[in-house]
Structure 1
Amino acid sequence: MRAIDYQSMTDTFVIVGGDAAGMAAASKARREDPDLEIVVFEKGEWVSYGACGLPYYVKGEIQSLESLVSVTPEEFREERDIDLRTGHEVVEIDPDARTVTAEGDGGEVVQPYDHLLLATGAEAVAPPIDGTELEGVYTLGSMSDGKELREYVARARDGESFQQADRGPACRYLEDCSGPVGVVGGGYIGLEMAEALAANGFEVHLFQRSDRVLTGFSEATSEAVADHLRERDVALSLGSEVLELAGSEASEASDGASSDRTQSDDAAEVEAVVTADDRVPVEMVLLGTGVRPRTGLAEDAGIELGPTGAIATDAYRETNRPDVYAAGDCAEATHVVTGEPTHVPLALTANRHGRAVGQTVTGTPVEGGGVAGTAAVKVFDVEAARTGILDHDEARAAGFEPVSETITAKSRAGYYPEGGEVTITLTADRDSGRVLGASLVSEYGEGAVHRSHAIVAALTEGTTVSELENYDLAYAPPFNTTWDPVLVAAKVLGGDLRE
């Protein structure tokens, strides 16, 4: 980051994007500098919301969409004195003139800036197949997407309101429940939405191009999650690339509850998922095939992208254009294991880096830290977590010689009347012994996710396996065994490395 004379700065901080990174930056900047002018442009109506909670809203565990909002627009405007302009889409950035141009209901606005943060997030990626434009094909990348999906669930249940119809997981066995539906993609969104739909009585078919779900996790974790999905009557089509979403004209479709979604007379509705080996009839399809960073504004303004396709920044989130920063799902971060740029579109990274930018532009440069690629997911009664580098080809490309071991150990003391097992795959570098990554899976509530935190610490500090073996982890019979499963995994892998 170049040296800046903060005493000579003017006082306008403009932010493009009103979710995690953008509003974290605005809030931190306001706390640090009460006199700073802060302007936030957000093209939608929602800001500072928990997109990760949308599958649970669709499922019915969360009753109000508004409950996903951390801070309302009114609170930002009135209590934090932030000039938040919802319904304004930024269409141009001019780094030379130091202006952004936005379009809203009141017309075009040209806003000068002294510091600019791009927090434009990521967008859902539709697979390159025919039929993604059909009625009944959904993605889940925004609050409006979540609202549409929940309305679909309500309509599919004979027009009842969702609150009346929601009777929890047992609804799977009710005759008036609807289906079948298709979920394309076996990542976080795909699996969480498979649970949400199955819990509401839908016959769920999940299609995954690779031969396992959760490809960023270990094979042991993927297998455990896949087995559990099958136990919960989710039909898995693994190693099955979707070739087409087939549709029929609305006039020819079977009778059903009327849709609130606008349709033309000749609008086609999805009726089947077509693979190389099968044609599966469906009434709805959820596309959970990943996201990509929104970088169009940045590219048009001459802001460089990095090797991941996200916006490149230095350690302080500053881009190649002076006083222009990028944070959150649109930007790269540095991996704590490899030291190389990576793209990790997750909420904590966005909040941390947005907060750091907010402090930096008010006079105290803060880096915000690297990332380990840590993630967690709940699928029915199973929880899983991953962190670091697990794929051996990826590890070798980063200069390591990876070795992995998978163990299964009790989650609590053997004599304690509850508990289960935790399966851990631990990966390390054979030459240095450094811990590179881990994948964990257990029954929900048996600690796979919380145990991953110890390994995140090890990755961040460059800890070796032998050092991890001696971590002083907490012990009490209701929580774990004397030798926590993390320590067991380290002992077994350490034995391999010492041979």
Structure 2
Amino acid sequence: MARDPFVVIGGDAAGLSAASKFRRETDREVVVFERGQWISYAHCGEPYFVEGSVERLTDLLSLSPADVAERGIDLRRGHEVVAVSPEDRTVTVRADGNRFDQPYGELLVATGASAATGPFDTTLDGVFTIHGLDSAAAVDAFLSLPGEYDRGRLGDGPVDEARIDHNAALDPPERAAIVGGGYVGVEMAEALTARGLDVHLFQRTDHVLDPFGAAVGERVESHLADRDVAVHTGRPVGELLGDDRVEAVAYDGERLPVDMAVIGIGVEPNAGFLDGTGVERGPKGAIRTDDYGRTSLPAVYAAGDVATARHAVTGEQTWIPLGLTANRAGRAIGATVAGDPTPVGDVAGTAVVKAFDLECGRVGFIDETAAEDAGFDPASATITAGSRSGYYPGGDETSVTLVADRTTGRVLGGAIAGRDRAAIRIDTLATAIESDLTVDELERLDLAYAPPFSPVWDPVLVAAKVLNGRLDD
């Protein structure tokens, strides 16, 4: 008797990675339900489309529906899973105004996350989140003069035509407020500046890119200011003002007139449809998973921005929604369901971001208080060193913050900023963390040296040398 299919909820990074791997390993049926029309696209590329560095919206697609069909995957777009019955091993699907139940042998929840909007009125014209290709397209249309939007920018994807028409008919903005100084906020500050807007960036804490630490945040703030971005740190925005279109942001008793606002205050896991199933939750309400992506429900897996993963430093469950995490976990789960048990892998929060021509990277614990809360006795050092030999042109000052545990010497985290291939250096620290290296072992790594690429002592090694001395104090 044929087994029920492997059912996947979500047609983006984790979902289609799992379905593709599963079909490569087995002839069993796999059904992917996607509530929207877009599939397999690069969320992280959306600010660069708005900026103009990416020519067409559809350049951000990895797979087309035709590509998915060629892989033998039953992809059903416009199908939203609204409930799961673990006892019956069925999902309830809504499509075209109808509902039906789909049996599953195994189920993967890969529903991703949605942009958090906080207390802000996102129904006002000129207010956007940057999460999804339709939102990026709407911003792009909004920035054009009425009647002059180049629809060739959209490619031939399933865009929300009504949304495009509405925003393309509005007068373009002159001043934008960006609420939130995280990845999206910093990237959109660059994008909107490139489009000729007067940009104000608001961050409720003392520094932008808070997870990267103070040293990186201060350098980014200075760099943004040099590029005419007005940075307002320690200034939480309380309200967006306006009747039909945003007219101002209110903060600290002040009012700044704007005619555009971008909300970039984070994301929330799309797990509400599992309420009532008894599935165990983790941080931020994400679905708790084990080393193989299994949830507490029988035959139900979760991966990507909706799921937790084990932290490489603490060994505890954490929620860090990033692209590689989703793709890697989806592929592993596809292999596991096909009969080859494969761990999804740990996460360390390794991330990079660009602010104009300044590159930043981070991994693990940078904040010493957070490290203490996790049970460590942290020590840190921040250094600045050249990115190349001093006599070779093209170098830049590279800042490195390194954090380690005093008791064991183990590397706990780090952050890097600079304009000359600084971000990619974070991979050395990520590897050190995944390998449980001590600072002493990190300092002795045989990293490559040649004048065009690095000084004899790479900035990472300099940071390790300085921190090692402090651990001995």
Report the TM-score range of the alignment, normalised by the length of the smaller protein.
Answer: over 0.9
Give matches, 1:279-290, under 5 Å: 279-290=255-266
Quick check: 1:482 aligned with 2:456? yes
Superposed displacement of residue 106, structure 1: 6.9
Output one character per residue of 1:402-453: Cα deviation in whole Å (capped at 9) or x when no partner.
Answer: 111000000001111221111000000111111000010001xx12211111
Q: Give, in whole Å, the separation in 1 of the partners of 2:172 and 2:72.
A: 48
Superposed displacement of residue 177, structure 1: 8.4
Quick check: 1:428 aligned with 2:404? yes
Match of 2:15 in 1: 22
2:173/2:260 contact within 8 Å kept: no
1:177/1:201 contact within 8 Å kept: no
Quick check: 1:56 aligned with 2:48? yes
Q: Give, in whole Å, the separation in 2 of the partners of 1:214 and 1:470.
A: 30
1:153/1:162 contact within 8 Å kept: no
Superposed displacement of residue 354, structure 1: 0.4
Q: Give, in whole Å, the separation in 2 of the partners of 1:52 and 1:119.
A: 18
- The correspondence for 2:242, drawn from 229, 247, 252, is 247
Match of 1:450 in 2: 424
Superposed displacement of residue 300, structure 1: 3.2
Match of 1:170 in 2: none
Please identify, of 486-495 and 308-317, the stretch whose mean Cα deviation from structure 2 is larger: 308-317
- The correspondence for 1:296, drawn from 272, 283, 293, is 272
Q: Give, in whole Å, the separation in 2 of the partners of 1:143 and 1:155.
A: 21
Q: Give, in whole Å, the separation in 2 of the partners of 1:44 and 1:162.
A: 21
Match of 2:162 in 1: none
1:207/1:242 contact within 8 Å kept: yes
Quick check: 1:90 aligned with 2:90? no
Quick check: 1:212 aligned with 2:177? no
Q: Give, in whole Å, the separation in 2 of the partners of 1:321 and 1:407.
A: 48
Match of 2:136 in 1: 146
Output one character per residue of 1:163-182: Cα deviation in whole Å (capped at 9) or x when no partner.
Answer: 89xxxxxxxxxxx9851111
TM-score scaled by structure 1?
0.89
Matched residue type, 2:57: L
Return closer, same or farther for 1:397/1:244 CA change in 2, 3 Å cut-off.
Answer: same
Matched residue type, 1:490: A
Match of 2:60 in 1: 68
- The correspondence for 1:414, drawn from 380, 383, 390, is 390
1:16/1:40 contact within 8 Å kept: yes
Please identify, of 99-108 and 375-384, the stretch whose mean Cα deviation from structure 2 is larger: 99-108
Per the alignment, in what secondary structure is the counterpart of residue 471 of structure 1? coil
Structure 2 alignment gaps of length 5 or more: 154-170
Matched residue type, 1:73: P
Q: Give, in whole Å, the separation in 2 of the partners of 1:132 and 1:145.
A: 12
Q: Give, in whole Å, the separation in 1 of the partners of 2:394 and 2:199.
A: 32
Give matches, 1:159-238, under 5 Å: 159=148, 161=150, 178-238=173-233
Match of 1:134 in 2: 124
Quick check: 1:460 aligned with 2:434? yes
Output one character per residue of 1:67-86: Cα deviation in whole Å (capped at 9) or x when no partner.
Answer: 11101011101x10100000
- The correspondence for 1:398, drawn from 374, 377, 380, is 374
Return closer, same or farther for 1:64/1:417 CA change in 2, 3 Å cut-off.
Answer: same
What's the % identity of the aligned pairs? 51
How many residues align structurally?
Answer: 456
Matched residue type, 2:148: G
Per the alignment, in what secondary structure is the counterpart of residue 144 of structure 2? helix
Per the alignment, in what secondary structure is the counterpart of residue 496 of structure 1? helix
Please identify, of 207-216 and 102-111, the stretch whose mean Cα deviation from structure 2 is larger: 102-111
Superposed displacement of residue 302, structure 1: 2.2
Q: Give, in whole Å, the separation in 1 of the partners of 2:283 and 2:138.
A: 35
Match of 1:348 in 2: 324
Q: Give, in whole Å, the separation in 1 of the partners of 2:20 and 2:345.
A: 19
Q: Give, in whole Å, the separation in 1 of the partners of 2:8 and 2:375.
A: 38
Match of 1:119 in 2: 110
Q: Give, in whole Å, the separation in 2 of the partners of 1:439 and 1:67.
A: 31
Output one character per residue of 1:128-183: Cα deviation in whole Å (capped at 9) or x when no partner.
Answer: 24x33322111011111111111111237x8353889xxxxxxxxxxx98511111
What's the Cα RMSD here?
A: 1.7
Matched residue type, 1:143: L
Match of 2:30 in 1: 38
Q: After TM superposition, where is structure 1 displaced by more than 3 Å over at least 4 residues in a row?
A: 158-164
